[in-house]
Structure 1
Amino acid sequence: MIKSMTGYGLAGLEDNNFNISVEVKTLNSKFLDLSIRSPKQFSDKELEIRNMVSGVLERGKVNLNIEFANKTSDDLPVGINEELFLNYYNKFQALLQKAGSQSEDIFKLALQSPNVITNVAEKNSDNQEWENVKTAIAKALNECDVFRSDEGKVLEGKFLENLSVIRKGLAEVKVADPVRKERIRERIRNNFKDWLEENSFDKNRFEQELIYYFEKIDITEELVRLETHLDYFEKNLKEDNNQGKKLGFISQEIGREINTIGSKANDAQIQKHVVIMKDELEKIKEQSLNIL
């Protein structure tokens, strides 16, 4: 069963002491491209978080956001330099008096002055806090993985629809190919019949040239290979292992056979089916980029 690289997971934990929320968003990428946003108190856990993510999601562009709020802490996340604030306030008040002006914004102006408010370095998390965060991360990753599996089922259905259209085009080409060959033979026969009767000519050599010509325009092998590639593509949709890159390689081979059929056949009727098959293949290639 294939998986999509597009996914979403959200998990939270809450009790009387804390509130934790973990959000995971994923998109397609050739490798695991992980971006982590978390409180500074968990900055030393980044390697462990990466190992958790890689163990579940494996590949893709992953954005993981952790929010942690401690309900019982009395500590503010910022520090206020009260003495510096009062110095600013008194200085601004004195300037207003000298200017003979009045303002109600002195308090706000002093509070926003340089170095009055500073960020306070967060303490490192204790073991219990981290275990709770890990639980939330694991739940969010699992939700995201389930989301990817569901998206994979949808993509598998689309792939089968695309393959069905290509198979229909292949069947139409198989029907049209004998008619094309007979039409070519008749055209050659009519063009050269009179010329062969009026001129001395090595008929054996001419027949050899015709055989060589028909071998060059023959598409039997391409039709067989195309059908084989389609079967192999469908088989890999059912595999459990990551198939995204392999499906991309197979789609390239499918495209090579379709292009060769179109160029060698050189027939307007067959070319119509080739165009339809190429259009469906482009849809497959685009969707394959999002397969894990």
Structure 2
Amino acid sequence: MATHKQAVPPPTVFFGEEAFQPIDHTEVRWLGSGGMFVNTRGTCIMMDPMLKGFDMPLLIDMPIAPENIPHLDAVLITHCDNDHYSVPSLHAMEHVSKAFHGPHYVAELMQAEGFPANGHDIGDSFEVGPAKITLTPADHAWQNEKAKYNYRVFRLEDYCGFWIETPDGIIWAPGDSRLMKEHLEMPQPDAILFDFSDNEWHIGLEGAIQMANTYPEAHLILCHWGTVDAPDLNVFNADPQSLYDRVVNPERIHAYAPGQPFSLKKS
């Protein structure tokens, strides 16, 4: 099978305890894969941290080992795929996180592993420090097409994104999802953790460009690219160069290094 060269991010920016300290603003860091770390005025939240134990080779170094995380106010999990719900990563940080949140099905999986998880409906909101977090819809039930997963029917409500309102602006992580009508009807976010994977169970490149241009002022922090060494799998092969000529205001595209901080500001 022919292979092609994968797009890769700049070298990882490692961080440690200093990134978890109280600050007077909000910082967002892409963790590699679909993960994100947010420090909003000293409240620390990780979403989908895949920081160890993945079952495929990687192209990057992770910006922090989960054993080195000093504290978290919450861990958010969008869905059950192991590049998002990383059981090894969560076990390594379970004693430093005050709470775990996800859709009901994901919360049940976490509870079975011993994590004190809270399950939510799509559209539910909850607060973590100064942040108000709302679950947004996602369409990613690819398991229903695979005989391996026929032990249950996977439903839309088993997957989500997170809309995170902070004192310094709104960051939206739509999660892994096909483009949905609801995704084009949100208020204007200030930043999007932006998946642009050209895959039938992800947003697809055309859908990603449509979403980006629906929110022309939102900063686009690219994710779900340049992480997994799998040049023949389109789900891991998004290329930032495919965006610059087609996205309105392309200067807002941030192909950051894993761990590189982005300061969130209201548009």
Please state which band the TM-score falls in when normalised by the shorter chain.
Answer: under 0.3
| Higher RCO (C-alpha 8 Å, min separation 6) | 1
In the superposition, the TM-score normalised over structure 2's length comes to: 0.20
Larger radius of gyration: 1
Instruction: Please state which structure has a larger fraction of its residues in helix.
Output: 1
Instruction: Please state which structure has a larger fraction of its residues in strand.
Output: 2
In the superposition, the TM-score normalised over structure 1's length comes to: 0.19
